[in-house]
Chains A and B, each alone.
Chain A
Amino acid sequence: TQLLEQSPQFLSIQEGENLTVYCNSSSVFSSLQWYRQEPGEGPVLLVTVVTGGEVKKLKRLTFQFGDARKDSSLHITAAQPGDTGLYLCAGGYNFNKFYFGSGTKLNVKP
């Protein structure tokens, strides 16, 4: 059983489209992180959110932490082929243990 469920699992879109990835759990986290991973490499940290309701923007990426700190979303505006990858959310307990979501594989076609 996955502690964090991500949806959708797979997403294939055209360049220029917008998309949202969701990360849901029944657990409350002290922090939530989003990562992007390329095949054969380690995940790269995109953002950390710690406050319920927090919204962070990173260029075309917008991250939101749910008010109850149980869920999060990642919105990408005007997706580009370079955004292709596996997107992972990770929930942290007491900032000392992290569990990863099931992952969303994004493919952006030129």
Chain B
Amino acid sequence: GAVVSQHPSWVICKSGTSVKIECRSLDFQATTMFWYRQFPKQSLMLMATSNEGSKATYEQGVEKDKFLINHASLTLSTLTVTSAHPEDSSFYICSAAGVNAYNEQFFGPGTRLTVL
């Protein structure tokens, strides 16, 4: 149980284009989903917290107009990187919580974004 999927697993795009990443909880309803960014050999940096049906809460320094998050249902959240630039290249990982009272989060496999 507690399986989270991400799609796509990797994407290469041209500078200036937008990229959408999907995060799905496959066997449970996620009351909260989180989006993280991870640079090579570094830890995960929390970008935003998303609750179903409400606006995402962004961490300080994360541009909400650049990283659009939509959490339309209890099993799906999307992250859209708008007008991507090479510095947006990174490993983006989502997690979903809501399995138990501790709100343990279960992670997707990540999406490798490369902006040329």
**Are B103 and A92 in contact, with the CB atoms below 8 A?**
yes
Contact residues in B for A31 (Cβ distance below 8 Å): 102-103
Chain B residues with CB under 8 Å of A64's CB are none
- The yes or no answer to B42 lying at the interface (CB within 8 A) is yes
Interface of A is mostly: strand
The main secondary structure of chain B at its interface with chain A is strand
B40 closest partner in A (C-beta)? A39
Task: Contacts A42-B110, A88-B43 given; indicate if A98 touches B105 (C-beta within 8 A).
Answer: yes
What is the minimal beta-carbon distance from A15 to any residue of chain B, in angstroms?
A: 23
- Whether B110 contacts A96 by the Cβ 8 Å rule is no
Q: Please state if B46 and A99 are interface contacts (CB–CB under 8 Å).
A: yes
Instruction: Indicate if B75 sits at the interface (CB-CB under 8 A).
Output: no
Q: Are A101 and B43 in contact, with the CB atoms below 8 A?
A: yes
B104→A45 contact, CB < 8 A:
yes
B106 within 8 A of partner (CB):
yes
Which residues of A are interface residues toward B (Cβ below 8 A)? 2, 31, 33, 35, 40-45, 48, 50, 88, 90, 92, 95-103, 105
